[in-house]
Structure 1
Amino acid sequence: MPPQTEEQARAIQSWQAVMNDLILAAVDVLNKGVIPPENLTGADPKIVSVMLLARTLSNTKGVRILLQKGRVLEARILVRNCLENGFWLARLIEDGSSFVHQMMEDEQKRRAMRGQLLFDTQVQLEAVAEQRLRDWMKERKHWKDSKTLEPKGVAKGGSIGDAYLLYSELSVDAHPGLEALNRYAARTDEADLDFEPEVNWDEYIDTLHLACFSTLTVLVGVDQMLGYGATEQLQRLTERFQALEAAHQQ
């Protein structure tokens, strides 16, 4: 990997510290256990918000590991997931059970589409399995009329819709387009091809910044959903993030 400047090294260290503390704070929120087991239902907006935080926590841990290994492009793809979690949570905060219903419709539509795909592609199934699938789809034929959710539409209706621009930029590396593929054809100083994407430390720092932004967004949102109120821990983390972000944008 290329050498870092002193300024880059300080920024990386600072962002890593914030990320580590955000992960610990997310674990604390998940461990508060204010939702009794008998109330665990996927239709409860609070439960859905907790699951979004759990998914974000897992994604962010993955980002941390990938960055430690210098896998910046792969880390950015996971950060994209974190932003997506934030879009869903923003809509959940604003629309509550109504958005959960939309999520359920999305799930129904996609399951029906996967079932239909088995028939469309003429996958060979055992007679009993095929009949069960046909019966299952017949019982749920109304699912095909459900609507799916897409990140752009979800983001547009939420309070952090402007972050879709960041999501769109991160999406470049999530798909095998020419711009993304060209990143794997870097040349060394000796002009030899090296199929490992070159680490750009400014992009590395930007990835840490976006990971912290999306994780903090979800964390604060879930804390709000669960009615904990702004804790001193979250206030300190928000202030540290804002101070680093201000320095990052200079």
Structure 2
Amino acid sequence: MARKEFITEWFSLALDLRHSCLSLVVETQLQTARSLEESPDLFAALLFCRTLTNFKGAIILLQQDLIIEAQTLQRSCFENSLWLRRLSHEGAEFAKAISDDGLFNEGSFAKLLMSAVTDEITREQCNEHIDLGKGHKRVDTKGPQTFDGATEDYTEFRRLSLSAAHPSSTSLLRHLINNPETGKFEIVVEVPEDDREIITNIFFTITAMMNTLNSFIECVSLTNGEKIRNEFAARIVSLATETGL
């Protein structure tokens, strides 16, 4: 099979995976009356939804050959996977950590705004957020590395931070290419890629989605969850073998 045909197969698999994951969202039954700190299943569903939109965005960008932009969303998928894995292992304890993280960040942002705020109503609102954020802390993205797959997900998260998400020299220098005809370096706006790089990035984006799916199934009881996961795992292994990844 020609490499272009393999690309088409990978994109088809990605779209099928997203469609099947969307069906699981519809299937999910959640209790929303409890506080967020007592709702690991709710946070799991929200993280899963967030991953589905990140995943869709990454695939669309890959279809448009925007490799760096796709990798920034691929990074988000791996970060979501890290958080969801912790939810599946730590339950309400990590749900509280997510809640604390939000309060801490809102409080920190309110402190940043205070120097520019003059009206009393807004200052009072900022002070409320600052008070709510006291005693809380941010979630450590790295987290425990003892959970199966956590080290690999964090490694990908860091690699994509370096090579795409942050304006590091590593990512910026991808916009500088050597023209083989002139032997001179030229600046390009859209980073060039080859078919193999596209396939590899589709594969890793799908991997992040599958890891998130696996943790979601562990967090929330789903009738068809394991069936869908196992069917797509088999398709991925088969296509990866054909592609030579």
Q: TM-score range by the shorter chain?
A: 0.7 to 0.9
Shift of 1:132: 3.7
Superposition TM-score, scaled by structure 1 size: 0.85
Residue 175 of structure 2 aligns to a residue whose secondary structure is: coil
Shift of 1:97: 0.3
Per-residue Cα deviation, 1:147-190 (whole angstroms, up to 9, x for no partner): 21132226x25332122112221111111111111111224454
Q: 2: CA distance between counterparts of 1:33 and 1:91? A: 19
Is the contact made by 1:87 and 1:158 (CA closer than 8 Å) also made in structure 2? no
Q: 1: CA distance between counterparts of 2:125 and 2:136? A: 22
Q: 2: CA distance between counterparts of 1:138 and 1:40? A: 24
Partner of 1:108: 103
Matched residue pairs, number?
238
Gap change, CA 1:93 and 1:227, over 3 Å in 2 = same
Partner of 2:68: 73
Letter matched to residue 199 of structure 1: E
Letter matched to residue 177 of structure 2: A
Q: 2: CA distance between counterparts of 1:108 and 1:117? A: 14
Superposed counterparts of 1:125-164, under 5 Å: 125-134=118-127, 136-137=128-129, 139-140=131-132, 143-153=133-143, 156=145, 158-163=147-152, 164=154
Choose 224-233 or 200-209, whichever is displaced more.
224-233
Residue 186 of structure 1 aligns to a residue whose secondary structure is: strand
Partner of 2:166: 175
Superposition TM-score, scaled by structure 2 size: 0.87
Partner of 1:97: 92
Query: Once superposed, what is the RMSD of the aligned Cα atoms?
Result: 2.3
Partner of 1:49: 44
Shift of 1:233: 3.1
Gap change, CA 1:139 and 1:231, over 3 Å in 2 = closer
Gaps of 5+ in 1: 1-5
Partner of 2:156: 166
Gaps of 5+ in 2: none
Residue 77 of structure 1 aligns to a residue whose secondary structure is: helix
Aligned mate of 2:204, from 210, 217, 220: 210
Is the contact made by 2:27 and 2:222 (CA closer than 8 Å) also made in structure 1? no
Shift of 1:59: 0.5
Per-residue Cα deviation, 1:176-226 (whole angstroms, up to 9, x for no partner): 111111111224454472422112322211110111101111122212322
Choose 181-190 or 210-219, whichever is displaced more.
181-190
Q: 1: CA distance between counterparts of 2:130 and 2:203? A: 48
Gap change, CA 1:178 and 1:226, over 3 Å in 2 = same
Shift of 1:96: 0.3
Percent identity between the aligned chains? 21
